[in-house]
Amino acid sequence: MRIARSIVTAIAAAAIVVLALQTPAAQSPVRVLVQTELGDIVLEVDTQHAPRTAANFLRYLDAGQYDGGAFHRTVKMDNQPDSPVKIEVIQAGVSADRTKDGFPPIAIERTTETGLRHTDGAISMARSQPDSATSGWFICINDQPSLDFGGARNPDGQGFAAFGRVVQGMDVVRKIQRAANTDAQRLTPPIAIVKAARIR
């Protein structure tokens, strides 16, 4: 009886070990330092809740494509007269000489899938149509629920793919938002990204 009980215990213990090995560990967020000419911004990229979108951003980052890029767009309450649903964001992109080195567009990870919302400091992928995001990304200033799934900013109602947040440097983000933009929503001149890389 004791032998049988020992065998059962051993089998149960082995099963627990196998199950633990098969269960993927929660991925830690990746921290990224974005050095701009107006100061540094630290991002936390959420690889656990938005794995596809995070991986897309990180492949551009690791390829060095944001080095020499820029924040080129500022959207403020006073420069979107034709938009009935107003937002506040700043948008960045890759270096102009790397635009042809991009990767294929990715499928959108809706906020209903990830649980991530477009709150103050959220980072998200820019897009036109659903499943069209490539390298462009933006930072929210103040909460922007109209950018979540079902929001009214985009007529298709699919929202945008949030994939992390700013953890340091929102003062720099707001400084960029207030920079000169004499051409509609274009920052004139753009605010240069000196370097963007993972924090090791």
Q: Report how many domains make up the chain.
A: 1
Any domain includes 179: yes
Arithmetic mean of pLDDT, 131-142: 97
- Sole residue written with tokens 């000489």: 97
Residue 157 lies in a domain: yes
| Sign of CA pseudo-dihedral 179, 185, 190, 193 | positive
- Given a cut of 50, whether residue 15 has pLDDT beyond it is no
How do residues 47-69 score in pLDDT, each as one tens digit? 999 999 999 999 999 999 999 99
Residues β-bridged to residue 65: none
**Does 170 fall in a domain?**
yes
Residue 15 placed within a domain: no
Does residue 42 have a pLDDT over 50? yes
pLDDT of residue 100: 84
Contacts 24+ apart (CB under 8 A), 18-24: none
Domain containing 50 — which CATH number?
2.40.100.10
- Residue 5 reports pLDDT greater than 80: no
Question: What percentage of residues in the chain have a pLDDT greater than 70?
Answer: 87
At 191, is the pLDDT very low, low, confident or very high (cuts 50, 70, 90)?
very high
Between the CA of residue 180 and those of 37, 63, 72, 150, 191, what are the distances in Å? 14, 30, 11, 32, 10
Does 185 reside within a domain?
A: yes
Tens of pLDDT, residues 160-182: 999 999 999 999 999 999 999 88
Instruction: Find, among 140, 138, 137, the residue nearest to 170 by Cα.
Output: 140
pLDDT value of position 118: 98
Count of beta carbons in the 10 Å neighbourhood of residue 116: 22
Containing structural domain, residue 78: 26-198
In a domain, 4, yes or no: no
* Domain-located, residue 102: yes
> Does residue 14 form part of some domain?
no
